Amino acid sequence: MADNSSVLSVSIVTPDGRVYEHESSFLVVTTKLGQLGILPNHVPIITSLEVDEVRVKHGDSEDKIAVNGGFLEFSNNTATIVADSAERQDDIDVARAESARQRAEASIQKAQAAHDADTLARAQVALRRAVNRINVAKH
């Protein structure tokens, strides 16, 4: 194992269990305030995450994980992401994500026509999640 002060331990967990675990040299997440890059020995932080991709760099490669909300806790070179749901790039079923996008867009149109704010808000979140999965899978 590498010197502990130059490596991050990154773990992503969901209610269904651990989705990702790897050592990393650099981590990028999107918080409610914008993108955050974390290098080894970063100050401890706890922050909420947006629906977006998480990028984990290790060596010459980079893993991408579609994360749908949650939070990040970082301390002692250990990053733990607790997400509502998450999928590794290679595990994303693009056809299923595309179908979810289409269903969400249809729900948005119906909710707007019916002036149903609650349904509209839920459909907009579903659309963001589907688009995030599609973007992560295609990059």
Q: Which domains does the chain have, with CATH numbers?
A: 4-89 (2.60.15.10), 93-138 (1.20.5)
| 79 and 23 Cβ atoms separated by less than 8 Å | no
Cα→Cα distances 17→8, 13, 42, 81, 88, Å: 20, 6, 26, 12, 13
What are the tens digits of pLDDT across the range 61-102?
999 999 998 999 999 999 999 998 999 999 999 999 999 999
Pick from 73, 10, 7, 12: nearest CA to 41: 7
pLDDT value of position 139: 78
Identify which of 65, 33, 63, 37 has the alpha carbon closest to the alpha carbon of residue 52: 65
Instruction: Quote the tokens at residue 16.
Output: 């269904």
The whole-model pTM stands at 0.85
Query: What digits encode the pLDDT tens for the residues 3-38?
Result: 556 899 999 999 999 999 999 999 999 999 999 999
